Amino acid sequence: MQLVLEKRAERSTKIAILSPLLAIALTLVTMSVLFAILGKNPATALYVYFIEPLTDSFTLMEIAVKATPLVMIAIGLSLCYLANVWNIGAEGQFIMGAVCGSYLAVVTNGTDAGPWVLPAMLLMGAAGGALWAMIPALCKVRYGANEILTSLMLVYVADLIMDYLVRGPWRDPKGMNFPTTASFDPVATVPALFETGRIHWGALAALIVVALATVMLGRTIKGFEIRVVGAAPRAARFAGFNSKRLVLFTFAVSGALAGLAGIIEVAGPVGVLQPGISPGYGFTAIIVAFLGRLNPVGILIAGLFLALTFIGGEGAQISMKIPLDLTKVFQGILLFYVLACDSLILYRIRLIASPKKASHGIA
Amino acid sequence: MGLLEAIIISVIAASTPLLLAAAGELVVERSGVLNLGTEGMMIMGAACGFAGAWLTGSTFIGALFGIAAGCALSLVFAALTLGLAVNQVAAGLALTILGVGLSGLIGAGFVGEKITPAPHLYLPVLTGIPFVGKILFGQDGFVYFSVALVVAIWWFLYRTRAGLILRAVGDSHTSAHALGYPVLKIRLLAVLFGGGCAGLGGAFLPLAYTPFFIPGMTAGRGWIALALVVFSSWLPGRLAAGAYLFGAVTILQLHAQAFGLGIPSQLMTALPYLATVIVLVLISRARGSAGSVAPASLGIVFVPDR
């Protein structure tokens, strides 16, 4: 008796819809086991993780705050992954966006600069992220260097550049030697949406990005080109699509979105530039992109779900003393199950008597 | 001990985890599988290796724990990529994310604890040879093992029938399958071997390099190891040279920081990462028209037809 994989004649649409749900269900089961190993009551822990944050308007808004960068980054990454381009350095592009945008906030700090500051910061943030993403893209297009490794290495470099700036030239002179810039002026801050809570206009920007991506992928030549190059590179060559230009394009767009997310994060909920502005948004966004099936609307839902795990994880740490690292474990396991379940869209698992007998049957 | 001697000894120590992890990954990639989870397996090896050594008081058992942790994670990777034909890049990333999280969970209880670092094995008489004595014959067991491992891998790949089959599987899985070789089984063994090596490389860090565990202590070494495999053109000899070169960059930046020189320390810390990018660009450019030397089936999903 043996389990084998067999290619389906066509994609199973039923499983395509069911697979993310199945993956989440399997993850929850695995998590329950982990909770039990840690000596916590699984039912209580799951409640604290996934239900409690939904019962309070403050935590609901916090979920939206956390989902904002995740969705924006993941939309950009999904364009890359659809085109079979592997940008995994979004974390670095997020940081460089935050750094470039913050430059304006730092130099105009305490001056009576007008309301042009924030729009200019957003532009510089997006440009900073895009330029940082251009490094691995150009290395790949010009020299054929593997973009996975170069984009990832640049995450560490970006982190160190920010560290240097906030400990050195940009440090707040009144900040008691803490590695942080001065608090941004009101003209350099993304305004909040409501009187209370930290939810800000960036959340709307993320929704606009989702809408634009939906239109681009579904209704434009560029979107078609991205999908053809990714799914059938040979066909794309016959169609005259330039795959090198597409590498530059997808890297630039995803870098710009990650950079924009970065500057919105520091000019919005955080309010200063300091180390640790990202709890790994750039990496979690990879999971968001896959869980959302590389589809903009799917990414929006997946982004909210993973934001829920961040908030739930913080709640579980406070009320149940569950280590914060469990959130990362959860995210890793979820990605595994998503990938495994997605495989069932293209293949089915068959139990066969033995490989020899089967070939005999055909003959 | 002179300064130069001390520097060389520390370069070797800094290179060893890279060499161990990269040597394992080289075999994995030669079989046609791209496992990007090296960083995750290394950090798990570090956490479990430290846990093992702390609980038993034995460096050797700690190292075995590290190997076991790397193998266990790589088994998950194999189940997905070989069993379910999942995209290897995505599965490798998942493995790293999972490994970083799990290691934090396991290691949390051990942060702040200390163990006795792996003893240096001073071979009598030979260590007495001036200058080279301590460098060649005064290292810890990991260093000797890593060198032996690279030699053994070279011998296996180029001097044994099994090595030839493994390379054939990596270069054309369809042909190897047609000849009747069990492609998936061979790849499974290669992936497990790579996992064990990455786990051991990770375990080296808390067991011999620094006698304590800190979360995220691999600091991207797994990714540098992956870059080293590309740098080496998938050749074991060049791999060793590359690993020692990177170890040298790491140590030189530490010494440069100690001297001050007015250069920001962050720039120095960034050097190994920048060097990786530059090396990748140079090596890819040099190959240019000569075509890729990577195993031809690298990273391509294989589902055997019956």
Question: How far is A195 from chain B, CA to nearest CA, in Å?
Answer: 36
pTM comes to: 0.88
Complete domains list, chain B, with CATH: 3-290 (1.10.3470)
Segment holding A207, helix H or strand E: helix A202-219
Domain ranges of chain A: 1-40+322-363, 59-321
Residue-wise pLDDT for B154-163, tens only, equals 999 999 999 9
Contacts of A93 (CB under 8 A, 6+ apart): A129, A130, A132, A133, A158, A254, A255, A258, A259, A262, A282
Contacts of B93 in chain A (CB under 8 A): 88, 286, 335
DSSP state for residue A182 in the 8-state scheme: P
Q: Tell which residue, A247, A313, A241, has the closest CA to residue A82.
A: A247
The mean pLDDT value for A239-247 works out to 88
User: For the ranges A37-46, B61-70, B256-265, which has the lowest average pLDDT?
Assistant: B256-265
What is the per-residue pLDDT for B146?
Answer: 92
CB contact under 8 A, B97 and A342: no
CA quadruple A115, A120, A122, A127: dihedral, nearest 10: 180
Give me B66's structure tokens. 């590290």
Average pLDDT across chain B, whole number:
86
Residue-wise pLDDT for A5-60, tens only, equals 777 877 777 777 888 888 889 999 999 998 898 888 888 888 988 888 888 888 89
The span from the CA of A71 to the CA of A67, in Å, is 6
* Phi, psi of B264, rounded to the nearest 5 degrees: -55, 135
Upper half-sphere CA count for residue A195 (Cβ side, 13 Å): 0
* Phi, psi of A349, rounded to the nearest 5 degrees: -95, 130
Closest CB to A157: pick one of B215, B273, B288. B273
Residue-wise pLDDT for A92-126, tens only, equals 999 999 999 999 999 998 888 888 999 999 999 99
Q: Does B47 touch chain A (CB under 8 A)?
A: no
CATH architecture of A59-321: Orthogonal Bundle (1.10)
Complex ipTM, two decimals? 0.86
Which has more confidence, B276 or A260? A260
The span from the CA of A213 to the CA of B118, in Å, is 54
For residue A357, is pLDDT > 50?
no
Question: How far is A314 from chain B, CA to nearest CA, in Å?
Answer: 15
pLDDT band (50, 70, 90) for residue B131: low
CB contact under 8 A, A135 and B277: yes
pLDDT band (50, 70, 90) for residue A361: very low
Instruction: Return the SS3 of B140.
Output: strand
Closest CB to A149: pick one of B80, B101, B227. B227
Q: Does B182 touch chain A (CB under 8 A)?
A: no
Say if residues A72 and A338 touch (Cβ distance below 8 Å). Answer: no
The span from the CA of A349 to the CA of A291, in Å, is 22
User: For the ranges A69-83, A261-275, B209-223, which has the lowest average pLDDT?
Assistant: B209-223
Say if residues A335 and A287 touch (Cβ distance below 8 Å). Answer: yes
Q: In B179-304, which residue ranges form alpha helices assigned H by DSSP? A: 183-204, 221-231, 236-259, 265-287
Contacts of B276 in chain A (CB under 8 A): 149-150, 153
CB contact under 8 A, A7 and B99: no
Residue-wise pLDDT for A168-214, tens only, equals 889 888 877 788 888 888 888 888 888 777 888 889 999 999 999 99
For residue A363, is pLDDT > 80?
no
Q: Tell which residue, B213, B171, B220, B166, has the closest CA to residue B194.
A: B166
Instruction: Return the SS3 of B294.
Output: coil
Average pLDDT across chain A, whole number:
88
